[in-house]
């Protein structure tokens, strides 16, 4: 059976869009970038650790396959994780304002016998945001729990001048890469592993 190692409702929604049957695993792993660790390596490592921790939970299940993912906003080699509070979210949005940043989304799929990983890289250009636009966005609460303090699927769409890459990857689970990986594990939409 396929398991999603994520509490993210966005990831569950995206995986369901592809038609897969899956269970959801609750994980609480620390996500800390190591000193000197390149940003993309960090994203890849976290996705792999989530999948591995999920597999440990379901190891006794025959045919268990676990999907773990991580998505981060990167600007000037700084990883913008989830903001601590509204003030932190405002600071992130001010830095992203009028600039192009990268969104890296890594997907790891593991079973007891093997593992595979894919990475989606997207570039997102924000319009210049004035303080009123940032305050209005913060009042929606959409920033909470989102890497880089924004969700592309919500009100922040109005900030995006240009997107080059994967919309679903920016949302949290790149669907093209995910479907390709699951096919490698012989998991097809509508079937259980």
Catalytic residues: 70
| Rounded-to-10 torsion of CA 129, 134, 137, 143 | 100
For the purposes of burial, counting CB atoms within 10 Å of the CB of 52, is it exposed (0-12), middle (13-18) or buried (19 or more)?
middle
Tokens of 162: 């240009």
Residues 6+ apart with CB under 8 A from 182: 2, 20, 65, 67, 109, 188
């Amino acid at each position: 059976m396929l398991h999603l190692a994520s509490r993210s409702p966005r990831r569950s929604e995206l995986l369901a869009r592809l038609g897969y049957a899956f269970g959801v695993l609750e994980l609480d792993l620390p996500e800390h970038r190591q000193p000197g660790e390149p940003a993309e390596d960090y994203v890849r490592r976290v996705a792999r650790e989530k999948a591995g921790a999920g597999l440990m939970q379901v190891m006794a299940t025959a045919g268990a396959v676990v999907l773990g993912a991580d998505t981060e906003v990167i600007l000037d080699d700084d990883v913008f994780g989830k903001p601590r509070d509204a003030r932190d979210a405002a600071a992130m949005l001010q830095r992203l304002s009028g600039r192009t940043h990268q969104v890296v989304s890594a997907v790891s799929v593991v079973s007891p016998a093997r593992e595979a990983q894919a990475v989606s890289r997207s570039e997102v250009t924000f319009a210049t945001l004035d303080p009123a636009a940032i305050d209005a966005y913060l009042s929606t609460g959409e920033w909470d729990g989102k890497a880089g303090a924004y969700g592309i699927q919500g009100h922040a769409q109005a900030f995006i001048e240009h997107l080059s890459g994967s919309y679903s990857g920016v949302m949290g689970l790149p669907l093209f890469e995910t479907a390709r990986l699951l096919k490698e594990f012989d998991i097809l939409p509508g079937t259980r592993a």
